[in-house]
Chains A and B, each alone.
Chain A
Amino acid sequence: MTGDDEAAFDEFLAGGSTSLLRTAILVCGASRHDAEDLVQYALEKVYRNWPRIRHDNPEAYAKKIVVNAAISRARRRKVLKEITFSRPPETAADSPDLDLRDTLIGELRRLPPRMRAVLVLRYWEDQSEQATAALLGCSVGTVKSQAARGLARIRENLQVSEEVTR
């Protein structure tokens, strides 16, 4: 890496790392600490290949790594969670005083990782269906169906919890 490469990498970080971190938090549904680790992991990959990719949309490259790593990490977590920590039965469902935002984030977290990623990219990042498909390496049809099913699931769970608390 030349000094110019290093400087360009720093510039790239200054412009895009906060957005990467936010995406990571939303997609992997994990703590900020985990998300930071994930972003560092992705950026290390970017850094490793920086001279090759710096002129070729490094933002998309980085985002792709973050999103896919977040999905795979979320899956791994999910496996572990399913094994060890199914929700204790006496834990109350989300208490009614949580506001809608918290409830929505809670529901978002409960979705399968890829479905969650689709919702984050489509509705938070405002990516097109095509761009979302490219980032996730799946078809536009998959993006459409995952988005629709994800929204439907959230909507359904919201209604259920409203009925319960009513």
Chain B
Amino acid sequence: MTIEDDLADAMAAHVSGVRAAPDLGGAVRRRHRARVARFRAAGAALVTAAVAVAVPVTLNVAVPATPNVAGPATTPDAAMGDNRAVMRDDVIVPDMTGKDANEAAKELRDAGLTAVLLVSGQDGKDGDRPDGPVSRQEPAAGTVVAPGTQVKLVVTLTWAPTPQALGDLGDGREFGGIRLTYLPEGLEWGKWSDSNVIGKDKSYTTSYRKPGIERNAFSVQVIVAHGSSADRLYDFEFKPAAETVDIGGRPARLSRDGESGPAGVSTPTIIWKLRDDLAVEVCLSPDYAKEIDAIGELKKIAEGIRATK
């Protein structure tokens, strides 16, 4: 057999037991719906976690003594191999924030620690890669830890250009046929927008953010959908179920967690129809929701939204 045949054979054998799950269609559709609510949602949440593999503790940095100097009681075995690592002093976690991810990981390794990269951002697109400086680390610099301890480094993805479907919206409060008359204090337009985000008819979205939060993160996101897309948006199934509240005389569906994200992360969301053919969804980022009276503010934003045409 040629190597091509061997390889084909090996590949066939490698995946021969693999079958697509029977509920794949359901999974794809759920994902599609979730995506609509999630384009910008991940923001500060850590979604893509790199796999961690321990780097062996083989370093001599803090080894207090060479083997066999501990006295006559030490057997040769005790001074060798793994036992040497046990004898090591603890390590002080160095400050890695602001450093290049590559260098940071190398330095940690040199210090006898294990680096784990966490990629901050939403679902990656083609061409995205983790790059740039470490924005956060855990445990913090100065913490005394055992050799080999994992240090989490949060790195931001380098993004494909931000979509700017709607161009410059000024203060961003008027878009897609609505105007926001109320936003919590301290928010500015996120300088981001997208269109055709749900269904076949017109739909738009943009976001608002607290100054200084991570690039690509949002604090408040608003989605507007017209015509048949309004039904698609309005019919989003919340898990857990939403409660119904009144917004300007119309029933609105309010959920403390509009997308079933990772445990402990919630995205308060409200969806209602301004008119029969115009639906609006407002959601708060998990981080921002923790800082404010999320449900109260969500209702206030919703009550302040007017149709402009």
**Chain A residues near B (Cβ < 8 Å):** 9-10, 13, 17-18, 20-22, 25-26, 32, 36, 39-41, 43-44, 47-48, 51, 68-69, 72-73, 75-77, 79-80, 83-85, 88-90, 100-102, 104-105, 108, 119-120, 123-124, 126, 151, 154-155, 158
Identify the closest chain A residue to B19 (Cβ): A18
Secondary structure of the A side of the interface? Answer: helix
Query: Is the beta-carbon distance between A26 and B117 smaller than 8 angstroms?
Result: no
Q: Pick from B60-68, B127-135, B180-188, B287-295 the stretch touching chain A.
A: B127-135
Q: Mark B18-30, 1 if CB is under 8 A from A, else 0.
A: 1111001101110
A105 to B14, CA, bound (A): 8
Determine whether the beta carbon of A101 is less than 8 Å from that of B101: no
Encoded as 1 (CB less than 8 Å from any A CB) or 0, chain B from 79 to 97 comes to: 0000000000000000000
| B20 A39 Cβ-Cβ under 8 A | yes
- CA of A32 to CA of B18, assembled, Å: 8
A13 lies within 8 A of B25 (CB) = yes
Instruction: Specify which of B11, B24, B119, B126 is in contact with A69 (CB 8 Å cutoff).
Output: B126
- Residues of B close to A102: CB separation below 8 A: 10
A40 touches B3 (CB 8 A): no
Known A40-B28, A80-B130; judge A123-B11 contact (CB<8 A): yes
Q: What would 9 more interface pairs be, CB under 8 Å, given A88-B55, A101-B13, A123-B8?
A: A21-B19, A41-B123, A44-B35, A72-B124, A73-B124, A80-B51, A83-B115, A104-B11, A124-B12
For B20, the chain A residues whose CB sits under 8 A away are: 13, 17-18, 20-21, 39
Chain A min CB distance to B121 (Å): 11
B18 touches A21 (CB 8 A): yes
The yes or no answer to B250 lying at the interface (CB within 8 A) is no
B50 within 8 A of A: yes
Quote the shortest CB–CB distance from B10 to chain A (angstroms). 4
Across the interface, which residues of B come within 8 angstroms of A105, CB to CB? 10-11, 14
* A119 lies within 8 A of B24 (CB): no
Whether the pair B28, A104 counts as a contact (CB closer than 8 A) is no
Cβ of A17 to closest chain B Cβ, rounded Å:
4
The answer to whether B7 touches A48 (Cβ under 8 A) is no
Shortest A157–chain B CB gap in Å is: 11
B73 within 8 A of A: no
* Residue with the greatest number of chain A CB neighbours at <10 A, chosen from B7, B18, B21: B7
Determine the chain B residues whose CB is within 8 A of the CB of A48 once the complex forms: 32
| Contact of A40 with B27 at beta-carbon distance under 8 Å, contacts A21-B18, A48-B32, A72-B124 already known | yes
B215 contacts across to A, CB distance below 8 A: none
- Note all chain B residues with C-beta closer than 8 A to A9: 25
The answer to whether A84 and B10 touch across the interface, beta carbons within 8 angstroms, is: no
**Shortest Cβ distance from A42 into B: residue:** B28
